[in-house]
Amino acid sequence: MAAPTPLHDPRRRGFGSDNQSGVHPQILEAIAAANGGHVGAYGDDPYTERLQHVIADRFGQGAEAYPVLTGTGGNVIALQSMIPRWGAVLCSASAHVNTDENGAVESVAGIKLLPIASDDGKLSPELIEAQSWRWGSVHRGEPLAITITQTTELGTAYTADEIGAIADYAHSHGMGLHVDGARLSNAAAHLGLSLKEMTMDVGVDTVSFGGTKNGLLFGEAIVSLKPGSLHGFSHLRKADMQLASKMRFISAQLITLLETDLWLTSAGHANAMATRLADGVRGMPGVEVTQLVQGNAVFAILPPGVFAPLSQVAYFDEWNPFTREVRWVCSFDTTEAEVDRFVAALGDLLK
């Protein structure tokens, strides 16, 4: 039988999102190695068992991993298992759970989100304080958890001290702290910290660890960092349709990502390409980089009339059409040549 013909142009590249890239070759090899033969389903397999040891090595002893299919599903179940249905979750107004998950936490888990405005996407104890009130009232969702995104939806990264301060605030007020770590690896690469130093060491209770945005075909892991931080997770994972029957293929990917330094080198490369892109466009007439580049995303305002022709050079998102702010995201496979061609194309359009 002839090899399948691609239905897309493999030469097409862009800066739309890191989940638009392909799969890292080492991840494809891991999937192939896990194939063949029969093993137990629904996590009763040697790969998911091995993953527990790998997660404990990266996040700290006592950490437990629960593979899931999607980031949105993982966030829903993590928060659902942290608090009762009448509880509320404090989050940044720009957080992925609030802006890009179609209300899944509220519609599926039945949990109220309490968004907090933040210019850089980051929360602080001072900002959280404004929404931390009315515990015990039947008239308002009771603030029982905080979720932060690392890196944020605006590409900024929390320092370990900033996360620790939020964790201290949360625990002193009877709340748990969840980290939406879709790009946690990018934050670690930027900060020069281990995953443990950014999470368990500073008091985080639960992490949604992202793989899809860092070279995986699919799959994430919910990581419990404290005994008792998740209640009924295994049952909720099934009820919320996130229990993969062939879980070995998620676990095998995560093992390869985390057992070596692939998670760090891939994220670090994506970060470096974003920095190169930002440095290349700074100073161009009418171009303003609007956020600190602390991960693999660049936010910038373009002059009028530039978005349409530039997006034909390489696809990317118009983040805010009213302000002409755009987002450029780099991936594990973004090359210096691609960045330089894109920067040169923008320069030509501005002449």
Supply the DSSP string of 232-248, one letter for each residue.
Answer: SHHHHHHHTT---TTTH
Cβ–Cβ under 8 Å, residues 220 and 75: no
Cβ–Cβ under 8 Å, residues 254 and 67: yes
* Spatial distance between the Cα atoms of 75 and 105, rounded to a whole number of angstroms: 8
The neighbour count for residue 261, using CB atoms within 10 Å, is 10
Q: Which of 192, 127, 195 is nearest to 166 (CA)?
A: 127
Query: Is the predicted pLDDT of residue 170 greater than 90, yes or no?
Result: yes
Q: What is the pLDDT of residues 177-221, one digit of tens each?
A: 999 999 999 999 999 999 999 999 999 999 999 999 999 999 999
Can you read off the two tokens belonging to residue 341?
A: 């061609």
Mean pLDDT, the chain, as a whole number? Answer: 96
The CATH number of 24-260 is 3.40.640.10
What residue spans define the domains of the chain? 24-260, 263-349
pLDDT of residue 3: 84
Q: Which residue has the tokens 């956020």?
A: 291
Q: What is the pLDDT of residues 273-326, one digit of tens each?
A: 999 999 999 999 999 999 999 999 999 999 999 999 999 999 999 999 999 999
- Helix (H, G, I), strand (E, B), or coil: what is residue 180? strand
- Helix (H, G, I), strand (E, B), or coil: what is residue 268? helix
Q: Which of 56, 63, 35, 24 is nearest to 269 (CA)?
A: 24
How many C-alpha atoms does 336 have within 13 Å on its Cβ side?
1
List the 325-329 sheet strands across, edge first: 288-289, 297-301, 325-329, 317-320
Cβ–Cβ under 8 Å, residues 98 and 91: yes
Containing 309, the helix (H) or strand (E) segment is helix 307-313
Query: Is the predicted pLDDT of residue 11 greater than 90, yes or no?
Result: no
Burial label, 172 (beta-carbon count in 10 A; 0-12, 13-18, 19+): exposed
pLDDT of residue 297: 98
Q: Residue 6 carries which DSSP code? A: P
List the 176-181 sheet strands across, edge first: 64-68, 220-224, 206-210, 176-181, 142-149, 87-92, 112-116
Handedness of CA 189, 190, 191, 197 (dihedral sign): negative
H helix intervals, 135-261: 160-172, 184-191, 195-198, 233-239, 248-259
* Spatial distance between the Cα atoms of 53 and 50, rounded to a whole number of angstroms: 6
Q: What is the pLDDT of residues 228-272, one digit of tens each?
A: 889 999 999 999 999 999 999 999 999 999 999 999 999 999 999
Shared fold status for 24-260 and 263-349:
no
Looking at residue 6, its amino acid is P
The helices-and-strands tally (H runs, E runs) of the chain is 14, 11
- CATH architecture of residue range(s) 263-349: Alpha-Beta Complex (3.90)
Q: What is the pLDDT of residues 113-165, one digit of tens each?
A: 999 999 999 999 999 999 998 888 899 999 999 999 999 999 999 999 999 99
pLDDT of residue 71: 96
